[in-house]
Amino acid sequence: FLIQVGADGCNYAGPECKYEKDYLLLNLHEYMEDDFLWHPRRLEMINKINSDNYRPIGTKHRPPVFSDYLEKMLNKMRTNNPTIEDQKLPEFSYHEII
């Protein structure tokens, strides 16, 4: 579970659409209470989004932290086990979109 909040203090539908007004779920400067996840406006916006109207659905843009994490994980596996090259490593197609 990942909540996207931009530097502008707004909660967006995903990392690939951060700062796009069409995918702004809730401005947390306007409402930041413990129950903001269930704010009616936020839920209404989430319910409007689906695979037919989510324009960024085909993008491969994700924060670099995912690629960095995977690279570190694979390097650690290789370091801990020098024969790992002969073994089956996890294969990640398009690791930048995980």
For residue 76, what are the domain limits?
Answer: 64-97
Of 47, 55, 62, 76, residue with least CA distance to 16: 62
pLDDT at 79 over 60: yes
pLDDT at 9 over 90: yes
Backbone angles phi, psi at 26, to 5 degrees: -165, 135
Average pLDDT over every residue of 9-38: 93
Q: What per-residue confidence (pLDDT) applies to 98?
A: 46
Tell whether 54 and 69 lie within a shared domain: no
pTM: 0.59
Q: What per-residue confidence (pLDDT) applies to 10?
A: 95
Tell whether 10 and 43 lie within a shared domain: yes
Q: What distance in Å separates the CA atoms of residue 28 and residue 87, rounded to the nearest whole number?
A: 47
Q: What distance in Å separates the CA atoms of residue 47 and residue 43, rounded to the nearest whole number?
A: 6
Tell whether 15 and 49 lie within a shared domain: yes
Tell whether 13 and 46 lie within a shared domain: yes
Specify the amino acid at residue 82: P
pLDDT at 16 over 70: yes
List, in sequence order, every beta strand (DSSP E) within the chain.
Answer: 4-5, 10-12, 24-27
Quick one: DSSP state of residue 9?
S
Q: What per-residue confidence (pLDDT) applies to 93?
A: 60
Q: What distance in Å separates the CA atoms of residue 71 and residue 63, rounded to the nearest whole number?
A: 14
